Amino acid sequence: MEIRTVGVVGAGQMGNGIAHVFALAGYDVLLNDISAETLEKAVALIDRNLERQAARGKITAEDHGAAMARIRTTTTLADIGASDLIIESATERETVKQAIFEDLLPHLQPHTILTSNTSSISITRLASRTDRPERFMGFHFMNPVPVMQLVELIRGIATDEPTYKTLLGVVEKLGKTAASSEDFPAFIVNRILMPMINEAVYTLYEGVGNVRSIDESMKLGANHPMGPLELADFIGLDTCLAIMNVLHDGLADTKYRPCPLLTKYVEAGWLGRKTKRGFYDYRGDEPVPTR
């Protein structure tokens, strides 16, 4: 089937980036959030990011204007039910995602494809709570969405081939690259990335190195563009912990046990950049390590 209209649930860091790339690729986007203020901020951020792309010559001023004209917003979840494709991009908690899909079901079109931008939760399990597990997939974008080229496509046990082929075509139209993953905890990227971040936190916890030495070691010794603790702050320590818990619970292997220091930071509300404190303190002019 051809996808023309896209509904995005959640206007946070990931949701606004997803709306941005779909509008730029020519899709009509309806962005939903429970907060009108969050929607207003999201649209302003998309506008600024498109303006930045235009200033760098990545897109034209006409592209910028046309993309903004394709984005509408709503605080009513039912409004997006008429979309050809729906992308849930709410917080990484399974109960929240299940509630969203249950609330959407009465308002969906028969042909609507449902997807989740989850970074770790079982697609098969989410799909089983809907009326269309065959038209349900994981559609995992990387952050920041306008910059990162990869999209993970995750088929649940019931996902049919036409749904997979349709989303493969959508990724191609977005100008991105698809990586197909089986439906196992954390899929491909986070199955590899999160244990590395968790091990970096253990390295800090055990006193092997401090924040700066750990990050500098991986940047200069392994040519990573960002150190693992800096990256954890960028992702959000609560998200990192949630993914580690999914890995630990889903695979029952002690190598995925979340570091107690990661848990402590999350309990303190030090979640990284979004709260101004994590492994670095962002309240001044320059980030300062907190350990």
The active-site residue out of 119, 120, 181, 198 is 119
Among 16, 83, 181, 190, the one annotated catalytic: 190
Q: Active-site residue 94, yes or no?
A: no
Considering the candidates 89, 92, 122, 140, report the single residue annotated as catalytic. 140
Least Cα distance to 174 among 69, 85, 284 occurs for 85
Cis link prior to 287 (omega < 30° from 0)? no
Please confirm, yes or no, whether 2 is among the known catalytic residues.
no
Q: Residue 28 in contact with residue 70, Cβ under 8 Å?
A: yes
Active-site entry in 92, 152, 181, 230: 152
| 119 has catalytic annotation | yes
- Judge whether 224 counts as a catalytic residue: no
Q: Which residues, 6 or more positions from 177, have their beta carbon under 8 angstroms from its beta carbon? A: 149, 150, 151, 171
Provide the annotated active-site residues. 119, 140, 152, 190
